[in-house]
Structures are given as C-alpha cells and as structure tokens.
Amino acid sequence: MKADADTDRLELFYTASLQVAGDKPLYRMVEDHIRTLITTGHLIPGDLIPSEAQLAKALNVSPGTAKKAITNLVWEKLLFRHQGKGTYVSRVDFEKNLFRFFSYGDAEGRSIRINKKTTARSLQQGPSNICKRLGVAEGSDLVYIERLGVIGERPILVEYSWWPAAVVPGLEDESIHIPDYLYALVLNRYGVPVVRAGETLTAEAADSKTAKVLDIAKGTPVVVLKRIAYTLNDRIVEVRTTKGRADRFSYKAEIRR
Amino acid sequence: MKADADTDRLELFYTASLQVAGDKPLYRMVEDHIRTLITTGHLIPGDLIPSEAQLAKALNVSPGTAKKAITNLVWEKLLFRHQGKGTYVSRVDFEKNLFRFFSYGDAEGRSIRINKKTTARSLQQGPSNICKRLGVAEGSDLVYIERLGVIGERPILVEYSWWPAAVVPGLEDESIHIPDYLYALVLNRYGVPVVRAGETLTAEAADSKTAKVLDIAKGTPVVVLKRIAYTLNDRIVEVRTTKGRADRFSYKAEIRR
DNA sequence: GAGTGGTCTAGACCACAGC
DNA sequence: CTGTGGTCTAGACCACTCA
C-alpha cells in the first residue's frame, strides 16, 4: 500500500530527535538532517520528502522552522518544491556546468546539442596515473571508454573516460548501448548515482591522437577538461579527460554582485 | 546631522507605495523596489539600507514580509547582513570570477595574489573592432592600458584594456598610479562604478607580442578571456582581453546538485 | 541601553495538484 | 475535497554592535 511507503519514508525523520542538539540553530539541524539523508543515499534524486507539516511534527519543530530549513535547501538547489505536490530531491545537472562551454555556431543562441559516438571501449589494466586519480590499486581492472562529441558531422571534443571495473562490470561489452548521458546508464544498470564532480579546465597543445580525431593540426591549442566524478560517500567512480577544439569552445559568464 | 542622511535614505523607500500593485507577491515588490534603487544608482555598493522594521513601516508591509524580501536578496548576493549593524549593498567581486582561474603553484592552496605592472598606456583613436564592442563611434578617443600580471617575477598574463576617453578623461596620464584593482581607481576618480561584466573564455595560439611578454614560444596555447564591463544602466565602459599562460592557468569547479 | 538582525513560534488564508 | 506549498501577518526572545 502507498501508505506504507509513506510511513517508511517518514520514519527516516523520526531518528534520535535531530542529533545531539549542538548549539546550531534548530533550522540548521533540520537542514543537516536532510542533507545527511541525501549524502548517505537514504534519499536519492527525484525522491519526495515529507511535507513541511509532517516534517515539523516528526522532528518536533514548528512548521515555520521546517519551512525555513527547506527554503534554504531550495536556495542551495539541493531540493525543489512543486506547489500542490510536494518537495523533491534535485538531480545533478551536469549539462549546466563546464560541458555547456562547448558551444558552437549560434553566436548568441542557446547551446546546441552535442551528440556522442562511442569510438572505443575496453577492459584493461589501468595506467598508474589513472589508477592513482581513481584511488584504486595500481593495475586494477578498469573500463575504458572513448567518445567523440560531434555537432552534425563536425567533431567538437573527445572524451577519455575510466571507471573501476568493479563499479561497472561488463560495461566494456559492445552490446550495451551507451547513451549521450552516460551517468543515466550507470545509474539504471548499476544503481550507482553520480552525485558530484570536480572539474579542472586548462588548455594545451593537441597531442597527435587527439589532433587526428578532432581534425586539427597537431600542436593546435585544445581546451582540456579533467573531471573526477563521485558517487555517494565521496567514492570516486570515474576519471575523465575531455579535450575540445578551442575554436569551437567558448565559456560565457556573467559577473554580478 | 546624521539623522538627515538617514531620513534622506529612508525617503527613497516612501515612493508611490511599491509601484502599481501588479499581481506579484508583496515581498517580490519589495525586492524589485530595492533592486531598482540599486541598478539606478540610488543605492551603491557599500550603502546601508534601512532596517527591516523601517522598511516594513515605510512600505507598509509586515516586518516578516520585509525580512523575506531581504533574505531573498541576500541569497542572491545583492545584499549582505551584518547582525547588530544593518543590511548593506554588496560589492561586485571580480576576483571571485574568471580571474581567480589563473592559479599558480600552490596546488591545493588558495589563489596566490597576482601583481600587475602597467606596461603601456596611451590615448588613441580606437581600432574599429574595439569601438564596435564598446558601442562608441568608430575612431573615438580611447584610453588604452596594457598590464602584465606576475607572481613573483614570473609572468602569468597580459591584459589589453580599452576605455572610452569620455568616461575616464586623463587616465592615460603616467602620473596617475594604477592600482591592481583598476575598478577601484575608476570609481574613486571618476565616480563610475563597474557593476557587472560579461566574460568569454577561449584558448588560442599565442601571437608574437603576447608570446614575448609571457616568455613563451609563439604559437603556444594561451587562455583568452574577453571581458565587457558595464556601469549603471547597462552602459559599456571597458573592453578587455586577457591572455594567460595555459600552463599556469587552471579553473576548478565543483558540480553539485 | 537602544537598535539591528537572527531565531522560533503560531496561525490565517490562498493557489495549485490530484483523486 | 484534501493535502501540498506559497503568502502574509504578529510577536516573543536572543545575540550582536556601538555609543
């Protein structure tokens, strides 16, 4: 019955009455409680959290305090509200980040969609520098995926991606279709949500392999994006390097107060 | 007397009772009112705004509503609060933006300060592409400033900056000391606040001039940052191109929900 | 001590979603 | 119709700042 699921979810909130009360404000403890449920995976993106009233009752605070805690988390984009329905846990939107930088053509317009073709995939012992970044033992089995990003027929970027084979066993299998949004596949097939990533951006001269696939001369400047992706509890699940044609790359930012 | 200044400031808030009431929520109208005072220059960065209680009384809303409006603007970083003192208009912090990308050395540490030496300055008729970007007539008088950014003795970046001479008359004069933070000078000397900027980031091969000052080989990848800076009412006051050594550049981002 | 923002509560009424 | 979040109000008490 639906009521059961609701009750189960609510129970998460009936714990030891909001940690041992520190000197933090009440609403802060409510926030932290929800934050913890999210980072530990008890709540995952898309989940509906209890209503403000239920939350207030469960945690024994006034409705206004529960509302304030939720409001703060909404400002932090950890949650979003939908009037009449409830409050949900947000998804990570990687497209809204460094990736969107590779824009093309439509000078002022929105970002055009980049399609990705998988150009290579294999199971192999990882190079030591990759293993180090992944935080796994040297020589561990890794799944390697290489993808070419194109707009129309024009190559824009190449991705070199590495995953511990233990996390995504069998992903090297050619029969598994890799969608543009790789993380969706990993979540659905392996139940591993990517919840966070760190990225570093630089530029360097194109190596010969990259130059070839991007159809540029070796030594031409390319934009280099290194990403480390994390799942729950700060476990690293992917190390990725993206190299993109500088002439088809642009990052726009608006600086305001 | 101090009371006069306070009264003057407060008067800004006694206008036509919050625009013609649209169907917007009350707190939204309070927000917009404050936002307008800021973008029109009636309130400038660093200004103290009336207390929540005064605001509520002046605009004829309840204290809770005034507080909510202010809280939202604080989340938007347009305002900041200081308990016991009051609420202030924020300053633009350009250092927290694309600029901070040029990090150097201290792998994990904070960003190291970049010192800037003015290497050239002059009054001249602007190149047509610059005039176009500045939105002034072709051949207008512009002040040109060239600065070299260094950490210690190592060159990191060069800046090529253009201002309409009408905005900053006499700035080409060698006797005017240009501080690292150019906008502070422009604000103090000419009363022109830079309130906003748009930036674009790309990479390209170093031209010979840039290569020389940055002490790299011509054709080496450099990171290129183009900025258009605005003062009040969306008037463009500066067009700047920054070129930095890619090997000493790195932009780190954290992607979260 | 007077004034500011910070916390916390309580409750009324509205607007929207979904059965 | 019920439950959800959204708006708006009112007021108590606390913590900080500064004269």
A87 touches strand C (CB under 7 A): no
Whichever domain contains B7, its CATH number is: 1.10.10.10
pLDDT higher for A151 or A62? A62
B2 touches strand C (CB under 7 A): no
Residue B81 maps to a domain: yes
Q: Are residues B82 and B9 in the same domain?
A: yes
Q: Are residues B169 and B123 in the same domain?
A: yes
pLDDT higher for B92 or A185? A185
Long-range Cβ contact pairs of B48-51 (< 8 A, separation 24 or more): B48/B9, B48/B85, B48/B86, B48/B87, B48/B88, B49/B9, B49/B79, B49/B86, B49/B87, B49/B88, B49/B89, B50/B9, B50/B10, B50/B13, B51/B86, B51/B87
Give residue A158's pLDDT: 95
Q: Are residues B102 and B227 in the same domain?
A: yes
**Euclidean distance between the first and the last CA atom of chain A, given in angstroms as a whole number:** 50
Interface contacts (A, B; CB < 8 Å): 123
- Domain containing A103 equals 94-248
Q: Are residues B224 and B146 in the same domain?
A: yes
Distance CA A201, CA A227 (A): 9
| List of residues 6+ apart from A147 with CB closer than 8 A | A116, A117, A118, A119, A158, A159, A161, A178
Q: Are residues B180 and B222 in the same domain?
A: yes
Q: How far is the CA of B59 from the C1' of D13 (A)?
A: 25
Q: Are residues A203 and A124 in the same domain?
A: yes
Taking CB atoms and an 8 Å cutoff, what residues of chain A touch B97?
253, 255
Q: Which chain B residue is nearest to residue A99, measuring alpha carbons?
A: B255
The amino acid that residue B171 corresponds to is L
Q: Are residues B36 and B106 in the same domain?
A: no
Give residue A52's pLDDT: 94
pLDDT higher for A161 or A197? A161
Please list, residue by residue across A172-200, b when 16 or more beta carbons sit within 10 angstroms of its beta carbon and e when fewer do.
beeeeebeeebbebbbeebebbbbbbebb
Structure tokens at A41: 């995976």
Q: Which chain A residue is nearest to residue B101, measuring alpha carbons?
A: A201
Q: Which of A147, A145, A132 is nearest to A99 (CA)?
A: A147
User: With contact defined as beta carbons under 8 Å apart, do B78 and A257 qualify?
Assistant: yes
Q: 3-state class of B35 per DSSP?
A: helix
Beta-sheet pairing, A154-164 with B236-245: unpaired
**To the nearest whole angstrom, how far is the Cα of B196 from the nearest Cα of chain A?**
5
Give residue B91's pLDDT: 84
Residues of B with CB under 8 A from a CB of A: 45, 75, 77-78, 89-94, 97-98, 101, 195-205, 219-223, 246-247, 249-257
B57 touches strand C (CB under 7 A): no
| List of residues 6+ apart from A59 with CB closer than 8 A | A13, A17, A18, A30, A33, A66
Distance CA A198, CA A180 (A): 20
pTM beyond 0.85, yes or no: no
Residue A7 maps to a domain: yes
- Minimum-distance CB partner of A92 among B92, B203, B255: B255
pLDDT higher for A153 or B99? A153
Q: Which chain B residue is nearest to residue A103, measuring alpha carbons?
A: B202
Nucleotide nearest to B80 (CA to C1'): C5
Residue nearest to nucleotide D9 (CA to C1'): B62
pLDDT above 90 covers a percentage of chain A that reads 57
Contact check, Cβ <8 Å, A252/B97: no
Which nucleotides on strand C sit less than 7 A from a protein beta carbon? 3-11, 15-18
Q: What is the overall mean pLDDT for chain A?
A: 85
Q: A41 pLDDT exceeds 90?
A: no
DSSP-assigned letter for residue A95: G
Task: Compute how many other C-beta atoms are within 10 angstroms of the C-beta atom of residue A152.
Answer: 10
Q: B253 pLDDT exceeds 80?
A: no
Q: 3-state class of B170 per DSSP?
A: coil
Give residue A129's pLDDT: 94
Number of H helices, E strands in chain B: 7, 10
Taking CB atoms and an 8 Å cutoff, what residues of chain B touch A90?
257
Top-confidence range, A120-134, A180-194, B185-199: A120-134
Give residue B146's pLDDT: 97
Give residue A98's pLDDT: 54
């993380």: which residue's tokens?
A: A183
Q: Among B89, B113, B137, where does a domain finish?
A: B89
Residue B253 maps to a domain: no
Give chain A residues 127-156 with Cβ within 7 A of strand C.
Answer: none
Q: What band does B40 get if pLDDT is binned at 50, 70 and 90?
A: confident
Distance CA A167, CA A232 (A): 13
Q: B1 pLDDT exceeds 60?
A: no
Q: Are residues A72 and A154 in the same domain?
A: no
Contact check, Cβ <8 Å, A200/B255: no
Structure tokens at A136: 């796994």
Give residue A87's pLDDT: 95
Q: How far is the CA of B169 from the C1' of C4 (A)?
A: 42
Q: A105 pLDDT exceeds 50?
A: no
Q: Which chain B residue is nearest to residue A231, measuring alpha carbons?
A: B256
**pLDDT one-digit tens code per residue, B183-230:** 989 988 999 988 888 888 888 999 999 999 999 999 999 988 889 999
User: With contact defined as beta carbons under 8 Å apart, do B79 and B88 qualify?
Assistant: yes
Contact check, Cβ <8 Å, B205/A221: yes
- Give bridge partners of residue A66 from the DSSP assignment: none
Q: Are residues A236 and A112 in the same domain?
A: yes
Q: What band does A3 get if pLDDT is binned at 50, 70 and 90?
A: very low
Residue A189 maps to a domain: yes
Q: Among B60, B89, B118, where does a domain finish?
A: B89
Q: How far is the CA of B25 from the C1' of C14 (A)?
A: 11
Q: 3-state class of B133 per DSSP?
A: helix
Residue nearest to nucleotide D3 (CA to C1'): A84
Q: Are residues A112 and A196 in the same domain?
A: yes
Cα radius of gyration (chain B): 22
- Tell me the average pLDDT across B245-252: 77
Domain count, chain B: 2
Top-confidence range, A19-28, A79-88, B180-189: A79-88
A82 touches strand C (CB under 7 A): yes
User: With contact defined as beta carbons under 8 Å apart, do B203 and B221 qualify?
Assistant: yes
Q: What band does A220 get if pLDDT is binned at 50, 70 and 90?
A: very high
- Give bridge partners of residue B48 from the DSSP assignment: B88
Q: How far is the CA of B40 from the C1' of C15 (A)?
A: 34
Residue A256 maps to a domain: no
**pLDDT one-digit tens code per residue, A136-162:** 999 999 999 999 998 888 898 999 999
Contact check, Cβ <8 Å, B202/A255: no
Residue B257 maps to a domain: no
Give residue B103's pLDDT: 55
Give residue A215's pLDDT: 94
Q: A245 pLDDT exceeds 50?
A: yes
Q: A107 pLDDT exceeds 50?
A: no
Q: What band does A1 get if pLDDT is binned at 50, 70 and 90?
A: very low
Whichever domain contains B179, its CATH number is: 3.40.1410.10
Q: Which chain A residue is nearest to residue B46, measuring alpha carbons?
A: A257
Residue B149 maps to a domain: yes
Q: A214 pLDDT exceeds 60?
A: yes
B51 touches strand C (CB under 7 A): yes
């995976």: which residue's tokens?
A: A41
Q: Are residues B232 and B153 in the same domain?
A: yes
Q: Are residues A128 and A238 in the same domain?
A: yes
Q: How far is the CA of A54 from the C1' of C7 (A)?
A: 21
Q: Among B73, B89, B105, where does a domain finish?
A: B89
Residue A51 maps to a domain: yes
